Structure 1
Amino acid sequence: MRILVVEDEQNIALLIEHYLKEEGFEVLLFHEAQGVLAALRTTPVDLAVLDIMLPDQDGVSLLRDIRKEHAFPVLFVTAKITETDQINGLYAGADDYIKKPFRPLELMARIQAQLRRTMTYNPAIKREEVERLLVHQELTLDPSSHRFFIGKELVNLTPKEFDLLALFLKEPHRVFGPEEIFSKVWQDTYLESSNNTIMVHIRHLREKISEHTNRRYIKTVWGVGYQLE
């Protein structure tokens, strides 16, 4: 999935980009409004994060232009939120606001909520690739809609958690070593610190699964790696 970020403050833009990429999103980054509309005509996005105060055009005006051609969710990031700002933004087509300074994890949660709402309540939205369901006992992963079910319960996963679980579901009972996991899920070179990243995501995935079932499913094979059981 791809996120458009339009933010003129370099440090904030890079912070948002970093956290989005950590969660597995592609990022289309601009520091001003110029060029955004042209890019959107050739590069589809799933959600946009816009700063209201841009150097060449205010964010509300940019959003009005975007809404003439696109319906993806838009989240405003702004240093000040007055009631007038909120009303103008909502009328222009904004879906949510977050005030600076913000906690990156809160921003990620708001982005996930908007994406989940869009995928759940807008059946007209289709992913470009339609793949078969990945099923293992009570676990069902739907790559075409990027949804995960335990039984009939919809469970929210981050993009990395989704890709990690998909890796295990494609080959149940196979043991995956840390280097292979990092290479296939993060698509990057495995470093000594990479194992901690894997462990954290495995733990979060187990916690989410255990909230809906009495099994953890992902087993640690000590000294080797992990497998789905």
Structure 2
Amino acid sequence: MLPPRILLLEDEPAIADTLIYALRSEGFEVEHVALARDALSAFARQAPDLAILDVGVPDGNGFDVCRVIRKTSELPLVFLTARGEEIDRVLGLELGADDYVTKPFSPREVCARVKAILRRTGAANGVAGAAPLSTAGACGVLQLDETAQRIRCSGEPLALTRYEYLLLATLLKRPQRIFSRSDLMDLVWGDAPDTSERTVDAHIKLVRAKLRVCGLDAELIQTHRNMGYSFQASAS
């Protein structure tokens, strides 16, 4: 069984060396590049199982690399950045990133997040377990598998980012309950204390779009004016 392959775009040698060591210690194969154009060349040559992209590199930025990759692939992506502004986090997540890590960070934490993303997406051989689908949280053709951290639509896993999965799973587990934006920030973005209500609304929009792609009514997630959101299993 081949080890999961990680593409790392990082131009700071000290950070790159630390991450490479941590990832390889966890059994990952790592290809490291320092320029955006080299990251795109590496992706075109052989798609990895996951990419870790520094936002700021000498010849561009990780957002641009993400935009190009997203034209043809649902490859799991993690952004690394020294920026702390919420607008950068929102932009990265709206572009389709699975996670966003602000420097300075713990290499062990990055490894843990990478493993969790690969378990959820099933992107790497041997990472995703063949766990049975749970019956609790299964609404219609949507099924929540909390062990593998996946949500399936008619048996096929939805391509969800980390926060999209956590958001939809939270709503699925309590159908009909109205969650305020504050509730969702606490339950879904508990590890991102700077998150605002704008982030919640943006992710609701993204999840609805993915429900439409798999043939479901986006209004399964209903908006309750001045109250919040709920999952309505009886919506048609």
Category of TM-score, reference length = shorter chain: 0.5 to 0.7
1:31-50 matches, cutoff 5 A: 31-33=15-17, 36-37=20-21, 40-41=24-25, 50=31
Larger radius of gyration: 1
1:52 aligns to 2:17 (yes or no): no
In the alignment, the residues of structure 2 paired with residue 169 and residue 201 of structure 1 have an alpha-carbon distance, to the nearest angstrom, of: 15
Q: Deviation of residue 217 (structure 1)?
A: 0.7
Q: Please point out which of 160, 166, 170 is paired with 2:169.
A: 166
1:214 is aligned to 217
1:9 aligns with 2:11: yes
Whichever residue aligns with residue 32 of structure 2, its letter is D
Q: Once the 2 structures are TM-superposed, how far is the Cα of residue 8 of structure 1 from its aligned partner?
A: 4.7
Counterparts of 1:82 and 1:136, CA distance in 2: 39
Q: What's the CA shift for 1:174? A: 0.8
1:32 Cα offset (Å)? 3.6
Alignment partner, residue 112 of structure 1: 76
Q: Look up the SS of the partner of 1:219 in the other structure.
A: strand
Counterparts in 2 of 1:197 and 1:121: CA distance versus 1, 3 Å: closer
Q: How does 1:1-229 map to 2 (within 5 A)?
A: 8-10=10-12, 31-33=15-17, 36-37=20-21, 40-41=24-25, 50-52=31-33, 79-80=37-38, 101=60, 103-106=64-67, 111-112=75-76, 115=118, 119=122, 122=125, 124-126=126-128, 132=134, 134-187=137-190, 188-189=192-193, 194-211=196-213, 212-229=215-232
Amino acid at match of 2:21: L
Runs (5+) with no aligned partner, structure 2: 78-116
Normalising by structure 1, what TM-score? Answer: 0.56
Give ranges in structure 1 of 5+ residues lacking alignment: 14-29, 54-76
Matches of 1:179 and 1:125, distance apart in 2 = 33
1:150-206: CA deviation from partner (whole Å, max 9, x where unpaired): 223432111111000111111111110111101111114466xx1111111001111
| Corresponding letter in the other structure for 2:180 | G
Contact 1:135–1:169 (CA under 8 A) maintained in structure 2: yes
Alignment partner, residue 24 of structure 1: none
Identical amino acids, percent of aligned pairs: 20
Output the aligned Cα RMSD.
4.6
Q: Look up the SS of the partner of 1:135 in the other structure.
A: coil
- Which amino acid counterpart does residue 225 of structure 1 have in structure 2? G
Query: What is the TM-score when the length of structure 2 is the normalising length?
Result: 0.55
Taking the aligned partners of 1:163 and 1:177, their CA distance within structure 2 comes to 15
- Letter aligned with residue 219 of structure 1: Q
Change (3 A) 1:95 1:130: closer
Q: How far 1:51 moved relative to its partner?
A: 3.0
Quote the Cα distance in structure 2 between the aligned partners of 1:226 and 1:126.
30
Output one character per residue of 1:19-50: Cα deviation in whole Å (capped at 9) or x when no partner: xxxxxxxxxxx624257436643x577x85x4
Give the corresponding residue for 1:26. none
Q: Does the CA contact (< 8 Å) of 2:163 and 2:188 recur in 1?
A: yes
Letter in 2 for 1:168: L
